[in-house]
Amino acid sequence: MVFSTIEFLFQFLPIFLAAYYLTPPRFRNVTLIIGSLVFYSIGSGWYTLLLLLSLVVNFWLSHMIGGLQKNHPQKAKHYFIGGMIYNFGWLAIFKYTNFLVENLNALLSAVHIPLAIPAAHLIMPLGISFYTFQITSYLIDVYLKKIKPANSFLELGTFLCMFPQLISGPITTYGEMQPQIHQRRVNIAQLESGLETFVLGLGAKTLLANPMGGLWNNLSVIGYDSISTQYAWLGAFAYSFQIYFDFSGYSMMAIGVGKMLGFELPQNFNLPYISGSATEFWRRWHITLGRWFRNNIYIPLGGNREGRWKTLRNTFCVWAFTGLWHGASWNFVLWGLIFFVLIMLEKNIYGKLLNKTHVLKHVYIIFLIPLTWMVFAISDMHQLATYFTRLFPFLSSDTVTANTRDVMVALHNYWKILIPCVLFSTPLPLHYYKKYRKSAFCIILLIVIFILSIRAMMTQTNNPFLYFQF
């Protein structure tokens, strides 16, 4: 079950909210956990047991670590290492086993060893990348004495299993959520604000992301080897808009539902396409993921405090892991390393020049980011190379026969969506919405967005959240 479905909007959410509001405040965490497990089990089946096992094991580990730190710090360290192996072990098994097997088989074939390791054909549990990072951040903070272990399964379960952010974030820390787990207020103002945020996120997903996904899918069906250069660039921008409004829309819906429940979840996006550098882009895109890597990998490795070469090493580690976190495929590794190179170039060579310009730095990002998304989107390296020869025809000496009118057909079909995508990537709509939020016009606009979103959900055939596969 996902947020942008009729079943969630008109079955699960109303029933759950009614039960949640009718529950006395002191018992609402119980209702929240039960509802969250029902929500997760609908889409994940028996993998719900893995989520519960994660809750039980990490609760026990955190108390062992907390109890041993003062008098037996070495034993506490052993429990902490065991916890990291346990949590990341499940993630590695489900997410990277097939990737490892494929590459081992390729290596054996390359050295002419007649052995083929059978594929595991494992199905990755929904949201495991997100809830693994969430629970490991809890264990790390307990070990570093930033927080005390949760007092009960109920407290830790509320933090880990809360369904608005369970399967695609935002990735929260126990320290920022603990006060809200213990005490929060639910009132009409929060419900109203949550509904507004949810509807805006729903509109971003169904009215912008999904149609852009249709344009990208059409291009993929045609085949990269027979598209014009203009259509290739249009496709790159289409995917850029799809992934942005898809994931930012989900995050808005998660934050909106959280508000309805009395929680303030952290912001996950801040208009990344208005950035003036790759560095700034990643401060604005998937903010909570960047925070996790900064706090748990970059800073523990030394950050930028130990000289240029160690800073280079630490940044390389962060981006190699960022790429692998997104997917078990070499294109994701390449995508992460491209950002590593870009950020290092900005930091050491041309970053100061970008900062002095007002137009060039935005042109740089508008041109650059769609190219990086193509590396992200196309997992087959041969197909990726083909796509880049369409983007840059001078990269290939082959004569390409393409329908040069393909881009005109696509623009005719999608210009009414492309223009809002460009507009809503800028600060203007948000500025005016905040200014006139309480006006009758904005209320009517929200109602129209909701109705159009419902209509889109009933007619669209392509409605998955892209980040569910990561």
Q: Which residues are catalytic?
A: 326
- The answer to whether the peptide bond before residue 266 is cis (omega within 30 degrees of 0) is no
Give the pLDDT of residue 400.
63
What pLDDT shows up at residue 397?
A: 65
* Range name among 99-103, 116-120, 221-225, 282-286 with the lowest pLDDT average: 116-120
Mean pLDDT of 257-274: 95
Least confident of 216-230, 309-323, 392-406: 392-406
Reported as a single tens digit per residue, the pLDDT across 135-189 is: 999 999 999 999 999 999 999 999 999 999 998 889 999 999 999 999 888 889 8
Judged by phi (left if over 0) then psi (alpha if -120 to 50, else beta), residue 413 lies in alpha
Question: Under a CB-based contact definition with an 8 Å cutoff, are residues 167 and 40 in contact?
Answer: yes
Which pLDDT score, from 0 to 100, does residue 109 have? 79
Confidence of residue 273 (pLDDT cuts 50, 70, 90): very high
Name the pTM for this structure.
0.93
The contacts of residue 448 (CB under 8 Å, 6+ apart) are none
How far is 340 from 364, CA to CA, in rounded Å?
16
What is the pLDDT confidence band of residue 402, given thresholds at 50, 70 and 90? low
